[in-house]
Amino acid sequence: MPISSPPQGDTQFFFQRERATSVLSRRSFLTGSACLLAVSLAGCNTLGMPGLAGQDPLPAADFDYAKAYAALPDGEFTWPAINYKAFDPKFLRQVVDYKTREHAGTIIVDPYHNFLYWTLGGNKALRYGIGVGQAGFAWSGEAKIRVKREHPLWRPPREMIDRKPSLGRYWEKGFPPGLKNPLGARAMDLWQGSTDTLYRIHGTNDPSSIGKSVSSGCIRMWHQDVIDLFKRVPLHTKVIVLTKDG
């Protein structure tokens, strides 16, 4: 399990409430509300939920997956394209029906079905496929994202170093960012109050692990997906990790 390093240049993303630029009539207000509840993918997806305005569009029926999962330049790195057609389509980024009592903007992780949901309200959610390491089953409950890291360092946990002493050289300074880094393009660290849960949502240098249970790591996402989620959620976002019985 990777251990948190001090935030370095963390980019904070804060939701901003959309402000009306004109006085809406009652009719137009009701139309906009209906659009929100349906989470219309034809252009109304920026209404209602604070923070959607100004973000990348939600996946719609005509969503360009080839573009979404193409090679992605990101600072000094370019994350490789994903051969998304080789995967079950259910693991691709998409808006789905999802009933929950949680407020819009909550992340819900279902490690037992390899899905991560970002709730949108109106019984809708943006769903991502995930890979789950052993550590991803070791903790469940409620926490908040306290640290967001771009191009994170990775420090191997002590038990991993015990099994493979050669990894000890990465304990002090960490494994450098890049294509081989186990945390990939982004990492989001979950805390309960002042306690680090050691639970991470992060990228992966093994894209074939999405949709599977794997030996190491917490919650893995394709680089393109973890960057998309990273842009959408601010610090202090509520995260719920489900137990096996949901």
Q: Please state, in angstroms and rounded to a whole number, the distance separating the CA atoms of residues 228 and 221.
A: 10
How distant is the alpha carbon of residue 132 from its chain centre?
Answer: 13
Q: Does 35 participate in catalysis according to the annotation?
A: no
Q: Choose, from 35, 44, 151, 218, the residue flagged as catalytic.
A: 218
Q: Does 202 participate in catalysis according to the annotation?
A: yes
Q: Choose, from 35, 151, 202, 223, the residue flagged as catalytic.
A: 202
- Reported in sequence order, the residue ranges of 122-194 that DSSP labels E, i.e. its strands, are 124-129, 131-132, 141-150, 186-192
From its phi and psi, is residue 103 left (phi > 0), alpha (psi between -120 and 50) or beta?
A: beta
Residues 202 and 223: beta-carbon distance below 8 Å? no
- Output the CA torsion sign for 64, 69, 72, 74: positive
Tokens of 126: 């943006």
- Which amino acid makes up residue 5? S
Q: Active-site residues: which are they?
A: 202, 218
